[in-house]
């Protein structure tokens, strides 16, 4: 017998939007304030896990056809690449650089290589978290 969970699914759609928005905010606030790739990745990953808990795995996979093991691997490569990239410019390991750019919609924006490193950390955390939860939930 299937449980009628229309209210749960409707509420989760709104809550997931709020959780994902908070995760993106924490990610972008991270290099100047508390937050960053790890916390942003945890919040984003928890939003994805909430979708998996509310809806079945097949439904979520239709909307997000990602292999989260590959997402984690991409994150590790991105974080490692930005860390090693400084060595190609005769700078110490994990050295960062930053610039101010005049972007069309955002105006004068501060962009740093730390953001690329934090993106790698976030992708690693999201991929690892979702992979662990999906592995735990699998039937034997």
Q: How many domains does the chain have?
A: 1
Render 70-95 in DSSP notation, one character per residue: HHHHHHHHHHHHHHHHGGGGT--TT-
Does some domain include residue 124? yes
15 found inside a domain:
yes
Reported as a single tens digit per residue, the pLDDT across 40-83 is: 999 999 999 999 999 888 889 999 999 999 999 999 999 999 88
For residue 92, what pLDDT band results from cuts at 50, 70 and 90?
confident
User: What pLDDT score does 87 carry?
Assistant: 85
Confidence of residue 1 (pLDDT cuts 50, 70, 90): very low
Is residue 109 within 8 A of residue 103, CB to CB? The reply is yes
Mean pLDDT of the chain: 88
Asked whether residue 104 is assigned to any structural domain, the reply reads yes
List the domain range (segments joined by +) for residue 103: 6-137
Is 44 within the bounds of a domain?
yes
Q: How much is the pTM? A: 0.86
Assigned domain for 103 exists: yes
Residue 1 domain-assigned?
Answer: no
């Amino acid at each position: 017998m299937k449980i009628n969970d229309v209210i749960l699914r409707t509420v989760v759609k709104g809550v997931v939007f709020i959780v994902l928005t908070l995760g993106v905010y924490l990610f972008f606030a991270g290099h100047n304030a508390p937050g960053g790739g790890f916390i942003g990745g945890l919040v984003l990953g928890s939003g994805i896990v909430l979708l998996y808990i509310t809806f079945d795995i097949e439904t979520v996979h239709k909307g997000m056809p990602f292999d989260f093991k590959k997402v984690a691997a991409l994150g590790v490569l991105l974080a490692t690449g930005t860390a090693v990239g400084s060595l190609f410019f005769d700078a110490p390991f994990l050295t960062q650089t930053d610039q101010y750019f005049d972007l069309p919609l955002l105006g004068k924006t501060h962009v740093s290589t730390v953001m690329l490193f934090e993106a790698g950390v976030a992708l690693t955390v999201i991929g690892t978290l979702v992979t662990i939860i999906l592995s735990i939930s699998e039937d034997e």
